[in-house]
């Protein structure tokens, strides 16, 4: 099976459309969304509607949690907090209700995979797994990790291999299933990349081989940035789409 993975869309419908088009072309069987459907961007309802239609599971990201009041907005800087409040006002009651029901994790034993928005060690804590030490903390839960754990949250592409009490940073395309190794993989952001590459990121897991295929794509970011300006959201949210920062 091919399992599509999207994350950190952040209300960017132009990027999300292109990501789904690529997943369609790859003939994926299902798509899992790792959360942060909303926040920062100008099209929250459109993104919720499309994800509801196309994803078999969606997780609760920290921005989604803040929008529904399940997380305090005091952790956010002013512009991000204003965007969360703006998003709350824009969302239809059906989409707000949908966000309320989203879980923190999703696991599928047949696929040998689990899905999280942030660090598996405490899914509701929204901790990052960016550096090797962040992954090292997961050695103590080796027996509970699936062979592959997919995460969003950092908006970066990262892969760590955990084996024999040690962690090695690797690349996403080097993820291979073995009996004793576990992998923690961040697949990047659809709608707001932050790895100095402004292209969106989307991927899929081939459950027959364990391979992760990552794809970067261009989209009409001018339109997204214009919509951000028109909505009165912080202009930097639009500018960073051109730099991937």
Interface with Fe ion by CB under 5 A: which residues?
Answer: 8, 36
The DSSP code for 16 is H
Residue 33 parent element (H or E): strand 30-33
Question: Measured from the CB atom, is 23 or 151 closer to Fe ion?
Answer: 151
Please tell me the distance from the alpha carbon of residue 69 to that of residue 85, in angstroms, as a whole number: 10
Question: Measured from the CB atom, is 4 or 41 closer to Fe ion?
Answer: 41
CB of 76 to Fe ion, least distance (A): 11
CB of 28 to Fe ion, least distance (A): 22
CB of 27 to Fe ion, least distance (A): 28
The DSSP code for 21 is H
Q: From the centroid of its chain, how far is CA 100?
A: 18
The DSSP code for 180 is S
Question: Measured from the CB atom, is 76 or 111 closer to Fe ion?
Answer: 76
Which residue's C-beta sits nearest to Fe ion? 36
Residue 65 parent element (H or E): helix 62-67
Question: Measured from the CB atom, is 155 or 182 closer to Fe ion?
Answer: 155
Length reported for the chain: 245
CB count within 10 Å of CB 81 equals 15
CB of 8 to Fe ion, least distance (A): 4
Report yes or no: 39 and 153 within 8 Å, Cβ to Cβ: no
CB of 210 to Fe ion, least distance (A): 26
Question: Measured from the CB atom, is 100 or 128 closer to Fe ion?
Answer: 128
């Amino acid at each position: 099976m091919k399992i599509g993975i999207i994350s950190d869309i952040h209300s960017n419908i132009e990027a999300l459309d292109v990501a789904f088009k690529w997943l369609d072309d790859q003939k994926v069987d299902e798509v899992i969304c790792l959360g942060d459907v909303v926040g920062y961007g100008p099209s929250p309802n459109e993104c919720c509607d499309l994800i509801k239609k196309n994803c078999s599971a969606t997780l609760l990201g920290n921005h989604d949690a803040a929008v529904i009041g399940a997380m305090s907005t005091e952790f956010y800087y002013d512009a991000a907090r204003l965007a969360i409040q703006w998003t709350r006002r824009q969302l239809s009651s059906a989409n707000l209700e949908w966000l309320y029901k989203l879980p923190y994790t999703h696991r599928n034993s047949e696929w040998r995979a689990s899905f999280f928005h942030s660090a598996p060690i405490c899914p509701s804590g929204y901790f990052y797994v960016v550096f090797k030490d962040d992954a090292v903390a997961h050695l103590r839960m080796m027996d509970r990790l699936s062979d592959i754990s997919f995460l969003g949250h950092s908006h970066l592409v990262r892969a760590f291999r955990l084996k024999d009490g040690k962690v090695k940073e690797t690349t996403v395309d080097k993820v291979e299933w073995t009996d004793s190794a576990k992998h923690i993989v961040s697949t990047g952001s659809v709608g707001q990349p932050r790895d100095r590459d402004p292209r969106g990121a989307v991927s899929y897991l081939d459950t027959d081989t364990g391979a992760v295929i990552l794809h970067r794509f261009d989209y009409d970011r001018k339109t997204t940035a214009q919509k951000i300006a028109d909505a009165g959201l912080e202009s930097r949210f639009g500018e960073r789409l051109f730099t991937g920062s």
